[in-house]
Structure 1
Amino acid sequence: MTSGFASPILTSPNGPTRGPHASVLALGAPLALGQNVFWNSPERPGAAPGTVDASVEEKLALTRRWQITSTDSWLSVTDRMIRGEHIRAHAAEAALDVRDEVLESSSSAYLDIDDWLRATSTHAERNGWDDDHTDLVMRLAVKAFHAEQQLAADDMLPAGQRVVTMFAHDLATAAYLTQAGARMGYADPATVNQMIDAIGHNAAGVFSSWASFAASYAMASTMLYGGYPVDEPYTGAVSAVRLLLSDPMSPWTNIGFPGQP
Protein backbone atom coordinates (compact mmCIF):
# COMPACT_ATOMS: atom_id res chain seq x y z
CA MET A 1 0.00 0.00 0.00
CA THR A 2 1.84 3.06 -1.27
CA SER A 3 0.72 6.54 -2.18
CA GLY A 4 2.11 9.91 -3.08
CA PHE A 5 0.01 11.71 -0.48
CA ALA A 6 -0.64 11.45 3.23
CA SER A 7 -3.65 9.36 4.19
CA PRO A 8 -5.60 9.40 7.45
CA ILE A 9 -5.91 5.61 7.16
CA LEU A 10 -3.26 4.16 9.46
CA THR A 11 -1.64 0.86 8.43
CA SER A 12 0.97 -0.75 10.67
CA PRO A 13 4.05 -2.22 8.98
CA ASN A 14 3.96 -4.88 11.68
CA GLY A 15 0.41 -6.05 10.95
CA PRO A 16 -1.00 -8.14 8.09
CA THR A 17 -1.77 -6.30 4.86
CA ARG A 18 -2.63 -9.31 2.69
CA GLY A 19 -4.59 -12.51 3.09
CA PRO A 20 -7.66 -13.67 5.03
CA HIS A 21 -6.54 -12.29 8.40
CA ALA A 22 -6.01 -8.82 6.97
CA SER A 23 -9.34 -8.86 5.09
CA VAL A 24 -11.21 -9.49 8.36
CA LEU A 25 -9.34 -6.81 10.27
CA ALA A 26 -10.16 -4.41 7.42
CA LEU A 27 -13.84 -4.74 8.32
CA GLY A 28 -13.08 -2.65 11.38
CA ALA A 29 -11.36 0.11 9.41
CA PRO A 30 -14.24 2.65 9.76
CA LEU A 31 -13.96 2.53 13.55
CA ALA A 32 -10.15 2.43 13.50
CA LEU A 33 -10.26 5.53 11.32
CA GLY A 34 -12.47 7.30 13.85
CA GLN A 35 -10.16 6.39 16.73
CA ASN A 36 -6.95 7.19 14.80
CA VAL A 37 -5.54 3.71 15.37
CA PHE A 38 -4.11 1.07 13.06
CA TRP A 39 -6.76 -1.04 11.37
CA ASN A 40 -4.44 -4.05 11.20
CA SER A 41 -2.58 -4.03 14.51
CA PRO A 42 -3.20 -3.38 18.21
CA GLU A 43 -0.01 -1.32 18.42
CA ARG A 44 -0.60 2.31 19.36
CA PRO A 45 0.34 4.80 16.64
CA GLY A 46 2.98 7.30 17.68
CA ALA A 47 4.23 5.20 20.58
CA ALA A 48 7.45 3.22 20.73
CA PRO A 49 7.39 0.20 18.39
CA GLY A 50 5.59 -2.71 19.96
CA THR A 51 3.63 -0.56 22.42
CA VAL A 52 0.17 -2.03 22.91
CA ASP A 53 -2.03 0.13 25.09
CA ALA A 54 -5.15 2.24 24.67
CA SER A 55 -5.37 6.02 24.71
CA VAL A 56 -7.57 7.78 27.25
CA GLU A 57 -9.99 8.67 24.45
CA GLU A 58 -10.30 5.07 23.32
CA LYS A 59 -10.82 3.83 26.89
CA LEU A 60 -13.63 6.34 27.33
CA ALA A 61 -15.21 5.33 24.01
CA LEU A 62 -15.13 1.65 24.95
CA THR A 63 -16.78 2.40 28.28
CA ARG A 64 -19.40 4.87 27.07
CA ARG A 65 -20.38 3.29 23.78
CA TRP A 66 -20.15 -0.42 24.57
CA GLN A 67 -19.83 -0.57 28.40
CA ILE A 68 -16.57 -2.49 28.06
CA THR A 69 -14.69 -2.30 31.35
CA SER A 70 -13.30 -5.82 31.84
CA THR A 71 -12.25 -8.97 30.03
CA ASP A 72 -15.69 -10.47 30.60
CA SER A 73 -17.54 -7.46 29.20
CA TRP A 74 -15.17 -7.31 26.21
CA LEU A 75 -15.75 -11.00 25.48
CA SER A 76 -19.51 -10.65 25.86
CA VAL A 77 -19.88 -7.55 23.67
CA THR A 78 -17.54 -8.81 20.95
CA ASP A 79 -19.28 -12.19 20.84
CA ARG A 80 -22.69 -10.52 20.49
CA MET A 81 -21.37 -8.43 17.61
CA ILE A 82 -19.82 -11.43 15.86
CA ARG A 83 -23.17 -13.25 16.04
CA GLY A 84 -25.17 -10.17 15.01
CA GLU A 85 -27.24 -10.39 18.18
CA HIS A 86 -26.99 -6.65 18.73
CA ILE A 87 -28.41 -5.68 15.35
CA ARG A 88 -31.02 -8.43 15.29
CA ALA A 89 -32.48 -7.07 18.52
CA HIS A 90 -33.01 -3.62 16.98
CA ALA A 91 -36.39 -2.62 15.58
CA ALA A 92 -34.71 -1.12 12.49
CA GLU A 93 -33.46 -4.57 11.47
CA ALA A 94 -36.95 -5.93 12.02
CA ALA A 95 -38.25 -3.36 9.54
CA LEU A 96 -35.80 -4.59 6.90
CA ASP A 97 -36.74 -8.20 7.67
CA VAL A 98 -40.44 -7.50 7.08
CA ARG A 99 -39.68 -6.02 3.66
CA ASP A 100 -37.46 -8.96 2.69
CA GLU A 101 -40.14 -11.41 3.76
CA VAL A 102 -42.59 -9.76 1.36
CA LEU A 103 -40.12 -9.50 -1.52
CA GLU A 104 -38.95 -13.09 -1.15
CA SER A 105 -42.53 -14.30 -1.51
CA SER A 106 -43.20 -12.19 -4.60
CA SER A 107 -41.58 -11.60 -7.96
CA SER A 108 -41.00 -7.90 -7.24
CA ALA A 109 -37.63 -6.38 -6.40
CA TYR A 110 -39.10 -3.21 -4.92
CA LEU A 111 -41.61 -2.36 -2.21
CA ASP A 112 -42.97 1.17 -1.92
CA ILE A 113 -43.38 2.68 1.51
CA ASP A 114 -47.17 2.26 1.67
CA ASP A 115 -46.92 -1.44 0.91
CA TRP A 116 -44.04 -1.75 3.37
CA LEU A 117 -46.13 -0.21 6.15
CA ARG A 118 -49.12 -2.43 5.33
CA ALA A 119 -46.87 -5.47 5.43
CA THR A 120 -45.50 -4.36 8.79
CA SER A 121 -49.00 -4.02 10.19
CA THR A 122 -49.90 -7.51 8.97
CA HIS A 123 -46.66 -8.96 10.33
CA ALA A 124 -47.23 -7.26 13.69
CA GLU A 125 -50.74 -8.66 14.02
CA ARG A 126 -49.64 -12.13 13.02
CA ASN A 127 -46.78 -12.12 15.54
CA GLY A 128 -48.60 -10.44 18.41
CA TRP A 129 -46.56 -7.23 18.55
CA ASP A 130 -47.85 -4.60 20.93
CA ASP A 131 -48.85 -1.17 19.59
CA ASP A 132 -45.69 0.59 20.75
CA HIS A 133 -43.37 -1.89 19.04
CA THR A 134 -45.46 -1.86 15.87
CA ASP A 135 -45.35 1.94 15.77
CA LEU A 136 -41.58 1.95 16.30
CA VAL A 137 -40.94 -0.54 13.48
CA MET A 138 -43.20 1.45 11.15
CA ARG A 139 -41.41 4.70 11.92
CA LEU A 140 -38.06 3.04 11.32
CA ALA A 141 -39.31 1.60 8.02
CA VAL A 142 -40.06 5.14 6.90
CA LYS A 143 -36.64 6.28 8.06
CA ALA A 144 -34.95 3.38 6.27
CA PHE A 145 -36.87 4.18 3.08
CA HIS A 146 -35.52 7.75 3.08
CA ALA A 147 -32.04 6.69 4.19
CA GLU A 148 -31.79 4.37 1.18
CA GLN A 149 -32.87 7.19 -1.12
CA GLN A 150 -30.10 9.33 0.35
CA LEU A 151 -27.57 6.52 -0.06
CA ALA A 152 -28.57 6.26 -3.72
CA ALA A 153 -28.28 10.04 -4.16
CA ASP A 154 -24.80 9.87 -2.61
CA ASP A 155 -23.77 7.06 -5.00
CA MET A 156 -23.42 4.65 -2.10
CA LEU A 157 -26.25 2.37 -3.22
CA PRO A 158 -26.95 1.48 -6.86
CA ALA A 159 -30.38 2.57 -8.08
CA GLY A 160 -32.99 -0.12 -7.53
CA GLN A 161 -30.96 -1.93 -4.88
CA ARG A 162 -31.75 -2.08 -1.18
CA VAL A 163 -29.96 -2.67 2.10
CA VAL A 164 -30.95 -6.16 3.18
CA THR A 165 -29.33 -6.06 6.61
CA MET A 166 -27.36 -3.72 8.85
CA PHE A 167 -25.14 -6.58 10.05
CA ALA A 168 -22.10 -4.64 8.74
CA HIS A 169 -22.33 -2.49 11.87
CA ASP A 170 -21.83 -5.47 14.19
CA LEU A 171 -19.12 -7.06 12.05
CA ALA A 172 -17.15 -3.80 11.81
CA THR A 173 -17.46 -3.30 15.55
CA ALA A 174 -16.36 -6.87 16.28
CA ALA A 175 -13.29 -6.57 14.03
CA TYR A 176 -12.30 -3.29 15.67
CA LEU A 177 -12.86 -4.69 19.17
CA THR A 178 -10.45 -7.58 18.56
CA GLN A 179 -7.66 -5.00 18.35
CA ALA A 180 -9.04 -2.64 20.98
CA GLY A 181 -9.32 -5.57 23.40
CA ALA A 182 -5.61 -6.24 22.98
CA ARG A 183 -4.82 -2.57 23.68
CA MET A 184 -6.90 -2.79 26.86
CA GLY A 185 -5.16 -5.97 27.97
CA TYR A 186 -8.34 -8.04 27.71
CA ALA A 187 -7.46 -10.19 24.69
CA ASP A 188 -5.08 -13.07 24.14
CA PRO A 189 -3.87 -14.09 20.66
CA ALA A 190 -5.68 -17.44 20.63
CA THR A 191 -9.04 -15.85 21.44
CA VAL A 192 -8.52 -13.09 18.88
CA ASN A 193 -7.67 -15.62 16.16
CA GLN A 194 -10.86 -17.58 16.92
CA MET A 195 -12.85 -14.36 16.76
CA ILE A 196 -11.27 -13.35 13.46
CA ASP A 197 -12.13 -16.71 11.91
CA ALA A 198 -15.77 -16.36 13.03
CA ILE A 199 -16.05 -12.76 11.83
CA GLY A 200 -14.68 -13.68 8.41
CA HIS A 201 -17.04 -16.62 8.08
CA ASN A 202 -20.09 -14.52 8.98
CA ALA A 203 -19.08 -11.60 6.76
CA ALA A 204 -18.54 -13.83 3.74
CA GLY A 205 -21.92 -15.44 4.28
CA VAL A 206 -23.80 -12.13 4.08
CA PHE A 207 -21.84 -9.64 1.95
CA SER A 208 -20.04 -10.01 -1.36
CA SER A 209 -18.11 -6.75 -1.67
CA TRP A 210 -16.76 -3.76 0.20
CA ALA A 211 -19.39 -1.60 -1.54
CA SER A 212 -22.32 -3.61 -0.18
CA PHE A 213 -20.68 -3.71 3.24
CA ALA A 214 -20.17 0.08 3.13
CA ALA A 215 -23.84 0.77 2.31
CA SER A 216 -24.96 -1.48 5.16
CA TYR A 217 -22.57 0.22 7.58
CA ALA A 218 -23.66 3.73 6.58
CA MET A 219 -27.34 2.79 6.84
CA ALA A 220 -26.80 1.35 10.32
CA SER A 221 -24.98 4.47 11.49
CA THR A 222 -27.97 6.73 10.93
CA MET A 223 -30.62 4.13 11.84
CA LEU A 224 -28.98 3.29 15.17
CA TYR A 225 -27.46 6.60 16.22
CA GLY A 226 -28.88 9.40 14.13
CA GLY A 227 -31.91 11.55 13.58
CA TYR A 228 -33.86 11.87 10.37
CA PRO A 229 -33.12 11.59 7.51
CA VAL A 230 -29.49 12.84 7.22
CA ASP A 231 -27.34 13.72 10.20
CA GLU A 232 -23.80 13.63 11.57
CA PRO A 233 -23.77 9.85 12.16
CA TYR A 234 -24.83 9.38 8.54
CA THR A 235 -22.49 11.94 6.99
CA GLY A 236 -19.59 10.79 9.17
CA ALA A 237 -20.10 7.16 8.18
CA VAL A 238 -20.48 8.01 4.48
CA SER A 239 -17.30 10.08 4.56
CA ALA A 240 -15.40 7.23 6.23
CA VAL A 241 -16.55 4.47 3.89
CA ARG A 242 -16.19 6.67 0.80
CA LEU A 243 -12.56 7.30 1.79
CA LEU A 244 -12.00 3.61 2.42
CA LEU A 245 -13.51 2.71 -0.96
CA SER A 246 -11.32 5.16 -2.87
CA ASP A 247 -8.04 5.89 -1.05
CA PRO A 248 -5.10 3.97 -2.59
CA MET A 249 -3.79 3.51 0.95
CA SER A 250 -7.01 1.85 2.07
CA PRO A 251 -7.25 -1.87 2.77
CA TRP A 252 -10.59 -1.82 0.97
CA THR A 253 -8.85 -0.92 -2.30
CA ASN A 254 -6.01 -3.37 -1.78
CA ILE A 255 -7.53 -6.47 -0.21
CA GLY A 256 -10.44 -8.61 -1.34
CA PHE A 257 -13.53 -8.81 0.84
CA PRO A 258 -13.51 -11.80 3.24
CA GLY A 259 -14.22 -14.94 1.28
CA GLN A 260 -13.31 -13.27 -2.03
CA PRO A 261 -10.06 -13.83 -3.98
Structure 2
Amino acid sequence: MVVCDHVEGVVSAPDGPFFGPLAHGLACGAHIPVHVSRAWNTLDDPARDHREDRDSLAEGWGVETAEDWSRQVDYLLAGQNVGPEVDAVLDVRRTLLRQQGHYDLVTWQNAVARWARWQRRRAAEVDELVELAGVVTRYESRFRTDGLLPHDGIVTSVFGYDLGRAVNMARWGHGGRFCDYGSAERIVLRAGELCRQHYSSWADYSAGYALGRVIRFDEESYGHLYASVLGPHRLLTADRTSPWWHVPFA
Protein backbone atom coordinates (compact mmCIF):
# COMPACT_ATOMS: atom_id res chain seq x y z
CA MET A 1 0.00 0.00 0.00
CA VAL A 2 1.23 3.48 -0.88
CA VAL A 3 2.07 5.77 2.03
CA CYS A 4 1.36 9.34 0.95
CA ASP A 5 4.15 11.87 1.19
CA HIS A 6 3.64 14.03 4.27
CA VAL A 7 1.89 17.29 3.41
CA GLU A 8 1.17 19.78 6.17
CA GLY A 9 -1.74 21.69 4.64
CA VAL A 10 -2.77 24.04 1.88
CA VAL A 11 -0.62 27.17 2.05
CA SER A 12 -2.05 30.41 0.65
CA ALA A 13 -0.40 33.79 0.10
CA PRO A 14 -2.54 36.41 1.89
CA ASP A 15 -2.00 38.95 -0.88
CA GLY A 16 -2.61 36.46 -3.71
CA PRO A 17 -5.88 35.97 -5.60
CA PHE A 18 -8.54 33.78 -3.99
CA PHE A 19 -11.31 34.21 -6.56
CA GLY A 20 -11.62 34.87 -10.27
CA PRO A 21 -9.92 33.53 -13.41
CA LEU A 22 -6.36 33.98 -12.15
CA ALA A 23 -7.13 32.10 -8.94
CA HIS A 24 -8.72 29.35 -11.04
CA GLY A 25 -5.64 29.04 -13.23
CA LEU A 26 -3.30 28.98 -10.26
CA ALA A 27 -5.51 26.36 -8.59
CA CYS A 28 -5.03 24.19 -11.69
CA GLY A 29 -1.34 24.17 -10.83
CA ALA A 30 -1.85 23.53 -7.13
CA HIS A 31 -0.64 19.91 -6.97
CA ILE A 32 3.02 20.91 -7.12
CA PRO A 33 3.10 23.78 -4.57
CA VAL A 34 0.90 21.79 -2.20
CA HIS A 35 3.30 18.86 -2.44
CA VAL A 36 6.21 21.07 -1.35
CA SER A 37 4.16 23.16 1.14
CA ARG A 38 4.37 26.40 -0.86
CA ALA A 39 1.60 28.91 -1.60
CA TRP A 40 -0.66 27.90 -4.45
CA ASN A 41 -1.91 31.41 -5.32
CA THR A 42 1.19 33.37 -6.19
CA LEU A 43 3.71 33.67 -8.99
CA ASP A 44 6.36 34.87 -6.55
CA ASP A 45 8.23 32.59 -4.17
CA PRO A 46 10.16 34.51 -1.51
CA ALA A 47 11.95 31.31 -0.49
CA ARG A 48 13.72 31.05 -3.87
CA ASP A 49 15.93 33.42 -5.84
CA HIS A 50 16.11 33.58 -9.62
CA ARG A 51 19.27 31.48 -9.76
CA GLU A 52 17.59 28.63 -7.89
CA ASP A 53 14.67 28.67 -10.33
CA ARG A 54 17.06 28.70 -13.27
CA ASP A 55 19.13 25.84 -11.89
CA SER A 56 15.96 23.83 -11.27
CA LEU A 57 14.70 24.44 -14.81
CA ALA A 58 18.05 23.49 -16.31
CA GLU A 59 18.31 20.29 -14.29
CA GLY A 60 14.72 19.11 -14.55
CA TRP A 61 13.69 20.42 -17.96
CA GLY A 62 16.84 21.25 -19.91
CA VAL A 63 15.68 24.88 -19.96
CA GLU A 64 18.62 27.28 -19.97
CA THR A 65 17.36 30.29 -21.96
CA ALA A 66 14.17 32.29 -22.33
CA GLU A 67 13.70 30.66 -25.74
CA ASP A 68 13.97 27.17 -24.19
CA TRP A 69 11.45 28.17 -21.57
CA SER A 70 8.99 29.61 -24.12
CA ARG A 71 9.17 26.44 -26.22
CA GLN A 72 8.49 24.30 -23.17
CA VAL A 73 5.46 26.43 -22.27
CA ASP A 74 4.05 26.02 -25.78
CA TYR A 75 4.73 22.29 -25.62
CA LEU A 76 2.88 21.94 -22.32
CA LEU A 77 -0.11 24.06 -23.35
CA ALA A 78 -0.46 21.86 -26.44
CA GLY A 79 -0.42 18.70 -24.31
CA GLN A 80 2.66 17.41 -26.10
CA ASN A 81 4.76 16.53 -23.07
CA VAL A 82 2.60 13.72 -21.74
CA GLY A 83 1.75 13.01 -25.39
CA PRO A 84 -1.53 12.66 -27.30
CA GLU A 85 -1.53 8.86 -27.41
CA VAL A 86 -3.23 8.38 -24.05
CA ASP A 87 -6.03 10.79 -24.92
CA ALA A 88 -6.47 9.04 -28.26
CA VAL A 89 -7.01 5.75 -26.42
CA LEU A 90 -9.42 7.48 -24.01
CA ASP A 91 -11.27 8.95 -27.01
CA VAL A 92 -11.87 5.43 -28.34
CA ARG A 93 -13.47 4.53 -25.01
CA ARG A 94 -15.65 7.65 -25.06
CA THR A 95 -16.85 6.65 -28.52
CA LEU A 96 -17.76 3.18 -27.27
CA LEU A 97 -19.69 4.65 -24.34
CA ARG A 98 -21.50 7.10 -26.59
CA GLN A 99 -22.44 4.41 -29.11
CA GLN A 100 -23.09 1.46 -26.81
CA GLY A 101 -23.53 2.89 -23.33
CA HIS A 102 -21.01 0.44 -21.87
CA TYR A 103 -17.66 -1.21 -22.54
CA ASP A 104 -15.30 -3.82 -21.16
CA LEU A 105 -11.54 -4.00 -21.44
CA VAL A 106 -11.47 -6.53 -24.27
CA THR A 107 -13.98 -4.55 -26.31
CA TRP A 108 -11.99 -1.37 -25.68
CA GLN A 109 -8.69 -2.97 -26.63
CA ASN A 110 -10.19 -4.41 -29.83
CA ALA A 111 -11.57 -0.99 -30.72
CA VAL A 112 -8.18 0.61 -30.04
CA ALA A 113 -6.50 -1.94 -32.31
CA ARG A 114 -8.97 -1.22 -35.13
CA TRP A 115 -8.51 2.52 -34.72
CA ALA A 116 -4.71 2.24 -34.66
CA ARG A 117 -4.65 0.09 -37.81
CA TRP A 118 -6.97 2.57 -39.51
CA GLN A 119 -4.42 5.20 -38.56
CA ARG A 120 -1.80 3.02 -40.30
CA ARG A 121 0.24 2.61 -37.14
CA ARG A 122 3.04 0.08 -37.17
CA ALA A 123 2.33 -3.29 -35.56
CA ALA A 124 4.49 -2.46 -32.54
CA GLU A 125 2.62 0.83 -32.04
CA VAL A 126 -0.72 -0.98 -32.25
CA ASP A 127 0.41 -3.36 -29.51
CA GLU A 128 1.59 -0.45 -27.34
CA LEU A 129 -1.72 1.39 -27.67
CA VAL A 130 -3.70 -1.77 -26.90
CA GLU A 131 -1.56 -2.33 -23.79
CA LEU A 132 -2.08 1.31 -22.83
CA ALA A 133 -5.79 0.60 -22.40
CA GLY A 134 -4.84 -2.09 -19.91
CA VAL A 135 -2.48 0.25 -18.06
CA VAL A 136 -5.23 2.88 -17.80
CA THR A 137 -7.69 0.27 -16.55
CA ARG A 138 -5.35 -0.88 -13.80
CA TYR A 139 -4.55 2.66 -12.68
CA GLU A 140 -8.23 3.61 -12.65
CA SER A 141 -8.98 0.61 -10.47
CA ARG A 142 -6.33 1.76 -8.01
CA PHE A 143 -7.63 5.35 -8.23
CA ARG A 144 -11.07 4.15 -7.16
CA THR A 145 -9.58 2.30 -4.20
CA ASP A 146 -7.59 5.36 -3.12
CA GLY A 147 -10.32 7.94 -3.70
CA LEU A 148 -8.91 9.57 -6.83
CA LEU A 149 -12.03 8.42 -8.68
CA PRO A 150 -15.57 7.58 -7.56
CA HIS A 151 -16.48 3.89 -7.62
CA ASP A 152 -17.77 4.08 -11.21
CA GLY A 153 -15.55 6.92 -12.40
CA ILE A 154 -13.19 7.01 -15.38
CA VAL A 155 -10.57 9.49 -16.52
CA THR A 156 -11.63 11.68 -19.43
CA SER A 157 -8.29 13.20 -20.45
CA VAL A 158 -4.67 13.34 -19.30
CA PHE A 159 -3.94 16.77 -20.79
CA GLY A 160 -4.49 18.22 -17.32
CA TYR A 161 -1.06 16.99 -16.31
CA ASP A 162 0.67 19.18 -18.89
CA LEU A 163 -1.67 22.08 -18.20
CA GLY A 164 -1.02 21.95 -14.46
CA ARG A 165 2.70 21.91 -15.14
CA ALA A 166 2.32 24.85 -17.54
CA VAL A 167 1.02 26.89 -14.60
CA ASN A 168 4.14 26.02 -12.64
CA MET A 169 6.36 26.62 -15.66
CA ALA A 170 4.92 30.14 -15.70
CA ARG A 171 5.78 30.49 -12.02
CA TRP A 172 9.32 29.19 -12.50
CA GLY A 173 9.85 31.25 -15.63
CA HIS A 174 8.81 34.39 -13.80
CA GLY A 175 10.97 33.45 -10.83
CA GLY A 176 13.92 32.72 -13.12
CA ARG A 177 13.44 36.04 -14.91
CA PHE A 178 12.72 34.38 -18.23
CA CYS A 179 9.47 36.38 -18.48
CA ASP A 180 7.71 39.30 -16.86
CA TYR A 181 4.72 39.03 -14.56
CA GLY A 182 2.18 39.82 -17.27
CA SER A 183 3.46 37.05 -19.53
CA ALA A 184 3.38 34.53 -16.68
CA GLU A 185 -0.16 35.58 -15.78
CA ARG A 186 -1.35 35.09 -19.37
CA ILE A 187 0.03 31.55 -19.38
CA VAL A 188 -1.79 30.75 -16.14
CA LEU A 189 -5.05 32.13 -17.50
CA ARG A 190 -4.67 30.17 -20.73
CA ALA A 191 -3.95 26.94 -18.85
CA GLY A 192 -7.09 27.50 -16.77
CA GLU A 193 -9.19 28.05 -19.90
CA LEU A 194 -7.88 24.84 -21.46
CA CYS A 195 -8.58 22.87 -18.27
CA ARG A 196 -12.21 23.96 -18.43
CA GLN A 197 -12.38 22.69 -22.01
CA HIS A 198 -11.20 19.21 -21.02
CA TYR A 199 -12.77 18.73 -17.57
CA SER A 200 -16.01 19.36 -15.74
CA SER A 201 -14.89 19.59 -12.09
CA TRP A 202 -11.85 19.75 -9.83
CA ALA A 203 -12.16 16.04 -9.09
CA ASP A 204 -12.35 15.22 -12.82
CA TYR A 205 -9.33 17.41 -13.49
CA SER A 206 -7.29 15.97 -10.63
CA ALA A 207 -7.87 12.39 -11.77
CA GLY A 208 -6.69 13.36 -15.26
CA TYR A 209 -3.65 15.14 -13.85
CA ALA A 210 -2.80 12.10 -11.72
CA LEU A 211 -3.17 9.63 -14.57
CA GLY A 212 -0.98 11.75 -16.82
CA ARG A 213 1.72 11.85 -14.15
CA VAL A 214 1.79 8.16 -13.36
CA ILE A 215 1.65 7.05 -16.98
CA ARG A 216 4.50 9.44 -17.76
CA PHE A 217 6.75 8.40 -14.86
CA ASP A 218 5.44 5.70 -12.48
CA GLU A 219 5.49 2.57 -14.70
CA GLU A 220 2.87 0.90 -12.45
CA SER A 221 5.20 0.85 -9.46
CA TYR A 222 2.75 2.81 -7.24
CA GLY A 223 5.71 4.31 -5.44
CA HIS A 224 6.86 7.85 -4.66
CA LEU A 225 5.62 9.32 -7.93
CA TYR A 226 2.15 7.98 -7.26
CA ALA A 227 2.21 9.10 -3.63
CA SER A 228 3.35 12.58 -4.64
CA VAL A 229 0.13 13.15 -6.55
CA LEU A 230 -2.22 11.19 -4.29
CA GLY A 231 -1.28 13.22 -1.19
CA PRO A 232 -1.95 16.64 -2.78
CA HIS A 233 -5.18 15.34 -4.33
CA ARG A 234 -6.48 14.22 -0.96
CA LEU A 235 -5.54 17.50 0.69
CA LEU A 236 -6.93 19.69 -2.08
CA THR A 237 -10.24 17.84 -2.08
CA ALA A 238 -10.61 17.58 1.72
CA ASP A 239 -9.07 20.73 3.26
CA ARG A 240 -11.69 23.48 3.52
CA THR A 241 -8.95 26.09 2.97
CA SER A 242 -8.18 24.53 -0.43
CA PRO A 243 -8.99 26.66 -3.49
CA TRP A 244 -10.96 23.71 -4.82
CA TRP A 245 -13.54 24.44 -2.13
CA HIS A 246 -14.08 28.10 -2.96
CA VAL A 247 -12.98 28.60 -6.60
CA PRO A 248 -15.65 27.31 -8.99
CA PHE A 249 -14.21 25.06 -11.67
CA ALA A 250 -16.64 26.00 -14.42
What is the SS of the residue equivalent to 1:215? helix
Following superposition of structure 1 onto structure 2, how do residues 63-82 of structure 1 map, counting pairs within 5 Å?
63-82=58-77
Change (3 A) 1:210 1:85: same
Letter in structure 1 aligned against 2:58: T
Deviation at 1:150, TM superposition (A): 0.9
Deviation at 1:36, TM superposition (A): 4.2
Query: 2:100 maps to what in 1?
Result: 107
Deviation at 1:100, TM superposition (A): 2.2
Following superposition of structure 1 onto structure 2, how do residues 91-240 of structure 1 map, counting pairs within 5 Å?
91-104=85-98, 106-108=99-101, 110-228=102-220, 230-240=222-232
More off after superposition, 222-231 vs 206-215 = 222-231
Please give the root-mean-square deviation of Cα atoms over the aligned residues, in Å: 2.2
Paired with 2:173 and 2:103, the residues of 1 have a C-alpha distance of: 41
More off after superposition, 142-151 vs 245-254 = 245-254
Deviation at 1:197, TM superposition (A): 2.9
Contact 1:11–1:39 (8 Å) recurs in 2: yes
Paired with 2:192 and 2:44, the residues of 1 have a C-alpha distance of: 22
Change (3 A) 1:72 1:143: same
Contact 2:206–2:233 (8 Å) recurs in 1: yes
Paired with 1:59 and 1:194, the residues of 2 have a C-alpha distance of: 20
Consecutive unaligned residues in structure 2, runs of 5 or more: 1-6
Contact 2:9–2:235 (8 Å) recurs in 1: no
Query: 1:241 maps to what in 2?
Result: 233
Report the number of matched residues: 244
Query: 2:49 maps to what in 1?
Result: 53
Paired with 1:186 and 1:107, the residues of 2 have a C-alpha distance of: 49
Deviation at 1:245, TM superposition (A): 1.1
Paired with 1:93 and 1:229, the residues of 2 have a C-alpha distance of: 22
Contact 2:51–2:176 (8 Å) recurs in 1: no
Letter in structure 2 aligned against 1:65: G
Deviation at 1:60, TM superposition (A): 4.5
Deviation at 1:157, TM superposition (A): 1.1
Letter in structure 1 aligned against 2:90: L
Deviation at 1:132, TM superposition (A): 1.7
Consecutive unaligned residues in structure 1, runs of 5 or more: 1-5, 47-51
What is the SS of the residue equivalent to 1:86? coil
Letter in structure 2 aligned against 1:53: D
Change (3 A) 1:245 1:45: farther
Contact 1:86–1:170 (8 Å) recurs in 2: yes
Q: What TM-score does the superposition give when structure 2 sets the normalisation length?
A: 0.88
Change (3 A) 1:238 1:77: same
What is the SS of the residue equivalent to 1:163? coil
Change (3 A) 1:201 1:42: closer
Deviation at 1:7, TM superposition (A): 4.1
Query: 2:57 maps to what in 1?
Result: 62
Contact 1:53–1:185 (8 Å) recurs in 2: no
What is the SS of the residue equivalent to 1:75? helix
Change (3 A) 1:204 1:130: same
Q: What TM-score does the superposition give when structure 1 sets the normalisation length?
A: 0.84
| Percent pairwise identity | 25
Contact 2:158–2:209 (8 Å) recurs in 1: yes
Paired with 2:55 and 2:139, the residues of 1 have a C-alpha distance of: 30
Paired with 1:204 and 1:178, the residues of 2 have a C-alpha distance of: 18
What is the SS of the residue equivalent to 2:29? helix
Deviation at 1:93, TM superposition (A): 2.8
The correspondence for 1:84, drawn from 79, 92, 98, is 79
